[in-house]
Amino acid sequence: MSKINCSSCGGGVRERARYCSHCGIKLLTEKVGYASRLRETSYLHPEWLAKLETTLQQHRNTTLPLKSLGKSRDIRLVAILPCLTLGLYALYWWWITQQELCRYLQRNEFIPLRDLLLFVLSGGLWGLYMHYHYAVQIIKIQENLHLPTSNYLKFLCPLLSLFFLGFISMSLLQSELNNIWELEKYV
């Protein structure tokens, strides 16, 4: 673990420390976004570093309109609220997330009433497809941004949903979306 020096007393503290262990002053820390974390971890796969730098350069040259970004949500709340609201939050989450994905991918296939109707008529089996479809859309965004893809999601999310663990699947999907939205903010 690397150490830095406190700006007040000069004592050595951990790099990620928020307070100096010698004088107790709050240390200035810069906010580290998803792009920075990608740069730090891209040493694992050298080809990812080149793709990441290309993507970051493209985004510096072209700015996306603010409305194309989705909203980052706390994944714990995404997991807990569907249980507390007896599934009502899950319906809201599916609706708003599909809106964000369609807007980001510039598609006009936003048909939430169709999904809701098929979900009810199929006794919830349409939910398996919805988990799969959302995962595929997230993977497409990751590919468009030249990010490492989470291909396991398109298998894991419907499987979790099959065993009545759809709220965990929603949290996994939201986690990936949060990473994408955060990357867009800090580029």
Residues 76 and 4 in one domain: no
Distance CA 99, CA 61 (A): 26
Do 12 and 100 lie in one domain? The reply is no
18 and 104 co-located in one domain: no
In tens, the pLDDT along 48-94 reads 667 667 766 666 665 544 445 688 899 999 999 999 999 899 989 98
One domain for residues 74 and 153: yes
Give me the number of domains the chain comprises: 2
Q: Are residues 16 and 73 in the same domain?
A: no
Same-domain check for residues 76 and 9: no
Q: Is residue 138 part of a domain?
A: yes
* CA-based R_g, the chain, Å: 20
Q: What are phi and psi of 19, to 5 degrees?
A: -130, 150
Same domain, yes or no, for 24 and 81? no
- The confidence score (pLDDT) of residue 64 equals 47
Tell me, yes or no, whether 44 lies in a domain: no
Is residue 10 located within the same domain as residue 84? no
Domain assignment present for 47: no
Q: Looking at residue 45, what is its pLDDT?
A: 61
Q: Which pair of structure tokens corresponds to residue 12? A: 């050595």
12 and 3 Cβ atoms separated by less than 8 Å: yes
Per-residue pLDDT tens for 103-114? 888 877 767 788
User: Rounded to an integer, what distance in angstroms lies between the CA atom of residue 93 and that of residue 109?
Assistant: 17
| Residues 177 and 110 grouped into a single domain | yes
In a domain, 106, yes or no: yes
**Same-domain pairing of 72 and 9:** no
Same domain, 88 and 1: no
Does 46 map to a domain? no
Residue 150 domain-assigned (yes or no): yes
Q: Are residues 96 and 145 in the same domain?
A: yes
Range of the domain at 126: 66-186
In a domain, 55, yes or no: no
What are the pLDDT digits (tens) for 152-184?
A: 999 999 999 999 899 999 999 999 999 888 877
Asked whether residue 45 is assigned to any structural domain, the reply reads no
